Amino acid sequence: MSEEPTAYEHPDRNIAMELVRATEAAAIRAVPWIGRGDKNGADKAAVDAMRTFLGTVSLDGTIVIGEGEKDEAPMLFNGEAVGNGRGPQCDIAVDPIDGTTLTASGRPNAISVIAVSDRGTMFNPVDAFYMDKIVAGPEGVGVVSLDQSIGDNIKELAQAKGKHISEMVVAILDRPRHEELIEQVRAAGAGTRLMRDGDVAGGINAARWESRVDMCAGTGGTPEGVITACAIKTLGGVMEGRLNPQSDLENKNVLAAGHDLDRILRLDDLVSSDNTFFVATGVTDGELLDGVRRKGPFIRTESLVLRSKTGTARRVIAEHQAAKWLEADAAHA
């Protein structure tokens, strides 16, 4: 009996290597808005650039997670068709800037993100804006779960990683709703890494073997959770989510859409495809990626490119001639 051919024997097209041009463009266009206090201006610049480059990619994509109804966005909205229509049929999730407030205030950890999976495989978070999440690396598979207390999760993950509890670090969004969670983490003997925004980067850092973060937990955006799941598929980690409406209106809409608020959504529930792509480019410097930097006549970007089918993680360092971008600006002025 012959064995199944490996990805090495029959390599196919990695569309993430084309998508990275869109996140690079979005990140570069956001740079003039860093520290300017205008998050809407930064977001619009990134959206315009990302949409332009997405239109050149050979795929037949539908945006499942976009700027969306929540942001009343005129472009990259949920349901919009993207790509040139001549490639594979895909679900697309975009966040031209995950961390618009970070960008506007000049703080670290803002990134530009695109995630892709086979058509019909991405969880559609319509009306469900918030969810409880827990993310960890490969050591956490079969170990951590939303079924357990945060203290038990920390204790069992520490044991699986061969670490003392005092060495464990949990990333949590710095929000009033997390005061009790933060206290519980510290009472268990672990440390916290409080994030102002950007829980996509927080979740990915929790799954990376070289990261100083061991786990990411708390209530954050459902769209960001689905995007993170596409990355965790490649990194071999564990992720669970449970919808957690933050207002009476959201609760009403989520129940009307037929969602079960008690159901724990595991990785395959968030994205069922085993062929996911994830691309992120740093906007401002962060633990996950360096931000956009001007290096003499060049603009330098750093990106993370992940593909679950092959289990491949790439870091892409690109140097763009600044003069070319200035020429493009002049042509559209």
Model pLDDT for residues 159-195, shown as the tens digit of each residue: 999 999 999 999 999 999 999 999 999 999 999 999 9
175 annotated ligand binder: yes
Confidence at residue 328, expressed as pLDDT on a 0 to 100 scale: 67
Confidence at residue 207, expressed as pLDDT on a 0 to 100 scale: 96
- The mean pLDDT value for 67-78 works out to 63
pLDDT over 90 (residue 113): yes
- The mean pLDDT value for 68-93 works out to 79
In whole angstroms, give the CA distance from residue 202 to residue 205: 5
68 annotated ligand binder: no
221 annotated ligand binder: yes
- The mean pLDDT value for 11-36 works out to 90
224 annotated ligand binder: yes
67 annotated ligand binder: yes
CATH number for region 130-270: 3.40.190.90
130 annotated ligand binder: yes
In whole angstroms, give the CA distance from residue 81 to residue 59: 10
43 annotated ligand binder: yes
176 annotated ligand binder: yes
Over residues 198-255, the pLDDT tens digits come to 889 999 999 998 899 999 999 999 999 999 999 999 999 999 999 999 999 999 999 9
What's the mean per-residue pLDDT of the chain?
A: 90
Superfamily (CATH H level) for 15-120+275-324: Fructose-1,6-Bisphosphatase, subunit A, domain 1 (3.30.540.10)
**Residue 70: pLDDT band by 50, 70, 90 thresholds?**
very low
285 annotated ligand binder: no
pTM listed for this prediction: 0.91
177 annotated ligand binder: yes
Over residues 247-283, the pLDDT tens digits come to 999 999 999 988 999 999 999 999 999 999 999 999 9
Confidence at residue 13, expressed as pLDDT on a 0 to 100 scale: 72
Residue spans in the chain of domains classed CATH 3.40.190.90: 130-270
Over residues 142-164, the pLDDT tens digits come to 999 999 999 999 999 999 999 99
Both tokens of 18, joined, read 């084309």
Q: Phi, psi at residue 160, to the nearest 5°?
A: -65, -30
Percentage of residues in the chain with pLDDT exceeding 70? 92
Confidence at residue 221, expressed as pLDDT on a 0 to 100 scale: 93
